[in-house]
Amino acid sequence: MVRQVKSPIELTDAFHANGLKVTPQRQLIFRLMHDNTMHPTAETLFSDASTQMPGISLRTVYQTLTDLAAMGELRLIDVGAGAVRFDPNVDDHHHVVCELCGDVRDVYVADSQNLSIDGLDGFAIDSTSILFHGSCAKCA
Amino acid sequence: MVRQVKSPIELTDAFHANGLKVTPQRQLIFRLMHDNTMHPTAETLFSDASTQMPGISLRTVYQTLTDLAAMGELRLIDVGAGAVRFDPNVDDHHHVVCELCGDVRDVYVADSQNLSIDGLDGFAIDSTSILFHGSCAKCA
DNA sequence: TTGTTAATCTGCATTGATTGCTAACTAGCA
DNA sequence: TGCTAGTTAGCAATCAATGCAGATTAACAA
């Protein structure tokens, strides 16, 4: 079952349902994240948002992204260098990052829920993050 | 083929072979990392080192760990929260982290080199990092 | 053993990413 | 239209890590 990326309208409803207000700043970020496959950082989104809404604060961008993540509408990706990337795709998937240009893509790994793991030592697993490191077609 | 954790003596040779000097500070860090399965942060190691060598600087700990990593004798683990963890096990393995206490363990994943990946879009893969998130036996 | 030199150490400043704080503002509701 | 709790902007503060420079020292040669 694939959980589709939510539309700005659906996110508005979701915010209201959680007792959160929907401001113009938040609506802008909803739109910027909708169907966004760039895996942007908060700074990148702030820069994009600033062109459409001069004066919006970086703090507000962080706050809204954090709220979205807390509601499960956004996934955080730590690629091990630089700032966290945000991904509106909350489907079961993983990532590949280009070590040269930093480009990140969604990838789908067969049976990633059923890996054979040795050495768990009593750990209960909640989730799995697979990160492939390599070089993209452009940088190769 | 398993690459064993190198002993302090072997690391000393490796440093010399790379034109690097071996200082008492470095020897101490070699010893502290040898067979260390705690996946410590630089700060943690600094704290451990300080008890045996008061006055050693955090900067030196970072420097030595960075040198070891550059020589491939150490692996960096980014668990997505807090500081980077250092792992003297450079064998092909992965990690599970307890989201409650931060404990990290080495795990071995069957066929992790042969995952079926969809959506690579021309990326060439150099390495794979699998991070399992969950709770350890103590925190469960 | 001593001298030379490049590498290293310490301590401090700086950067980068993110969060904390608060007064002014406003979305949502009565 | 007013009320009120949630939000925003801006700036300070924190945390992890790196940059820098003068004092120190490991390693090698004489």
pLDDT of B135 > 80? The answer is yes
Cβ count within 10 A of residue B90: 17
Pick the residue from chain A with its C-alpha nearest to B98: A123
Q: Looking at this predicted complex, what is its ipTM? A: 0.90
**Beta carbons of A98 and A139 less than 8 angstroms apart:** yes
pLDDT of B6 > 80? The answer is yes
**Beta carbons of A55 and A101 less than 8 angstroms apart:** no
Cβ count within 10 A of residue A137: 12
pLDDT of B4 > 90? The answer is no
Better-scored residue on pLDDT, B5 or A92: A92
B8-51, pLDDT tens digit by residue?
999 999 999 999 999 999 999 999 999 899 999 999 999 999 99
pLDDT of B62 > 70? The answer is yes
Q: What is the pLDDT of residue A4?
A: 59
For the CA of B12 and the C1' of C11, the distance in angstroms is: 26
Give the whole-angstrom CA distance, residue B140 versus residue B134: 9
**Beta carbons of B26 and B65 less than 8 angstroms apart:** no
Q: What is the pLDDT of residue B3?
A: 55
Give the whole-angstrom CA distance, residue B96 versus residue B131: 6
The closest of B97, B108, B104 to B37, measured between CA atoms, is: B104
Confidence of residue A3 (pLDDT cuts 50, 70, 90): low
Q: Do B133 and A126 touch (CB under 8 A)?
A: yes
Interface test with B, best of A77, A91, A115, A126 (most B CBs within 10 A): A115
Q: What is the pLDDT of residue A29?
A: 97
How much is the pTM?
0.91
DSSP per residue, A72-89: TSSEEE--SSSSPEEES-
The tokens for B101 are 């206490």
The CATH code belonging to domain A8-86 is 1.10.10.10
Give the whole-angstrom CA distance, residue B59 versus residue B72: 20
Give the whole-angstrom CA distance, residue B69 versus residue B65: 6
* Cα dist from A73 to A5, A19, A123, B138, whole Å: 8, 16, 27, 31
Q: What is the pLDDT of residue B140?
A: 78
Pick the residue from chain B with its C-alpha nearest to A99: B126
3-state secondary structure of B42: helix
pLDDT of B2 > 60? The answer is no
Q: What is the pLDDT of residue B5?
A: 72
Confidence of residue A140 (pLDDT cuts 50, 70, 90): confident
The closest of A80, A84, A104 to A94, measured between CA atoms, is: A104
Q: What is the mean pLDDT of chain A?
A: 94
Q: How far is CA B71 from the centre of its chain?
A: 12
Pick the CATH number of B1-111+124-140 from 1.10.10.10, 1.10.1040.10, 3.90.1150.10, 2.60.40.1250: 1.10.10.10
A4-60, pLDDT tens digit by residue?
578 899 999 999 999 999 999 999 999 999 989 999 999 999 999 999 999 999 999
Average pLDDT over residues B70-98: 95
A57-108, pLDDT tens digit by residue?
999 999 999 999 999 999 999 999 999 999 999 999 999 999 999 999 999 9
Facing residue for A123 by CB, picked from B117, B131, B137: B137
Give the whole-angstrom CA distance, residue B14 versus residue B20: 9
Q: What is the least distance, in Å, from the CA of A131 to any CA of chain B?
A: 5
For the CA of A30 and the C1' of D5, the distance in angstroms is: 23
The nt closest to A61 (CA vs C1′) is D8
From start to end of A1-140, where are the E strands? Answer: 75-77, 85-87, 94-98, 104-109, 117-118, 124-135
Residues from A in contact with B at Cβ < 8 Å: 76, 78, 80, 93, 96, 98-99, 105-112, 115-137, 140
The closest of B38, B57, B37, B39 to B47, measured between CA atoms, is: B57
Q: What is the pLDDT of residue A82?
A: 92
- Counting one residue from chain A and one from chain B, the pairs whose CB atoms sit within 8 A come to 133
For the CA of B52 and the C1' of C4, the distance in angstroms is: 32
Q: What is the pLDDT of residue A107?
A: 97
CB-contacts to strand C (7 A): A 16, 21-24, 41-43, 58-59, 62, 66, 82-84; B 15, 19-21, 23, 25-26, 53, 55-60, 63-64
A26 touches strand D (CB under 7 A): yes
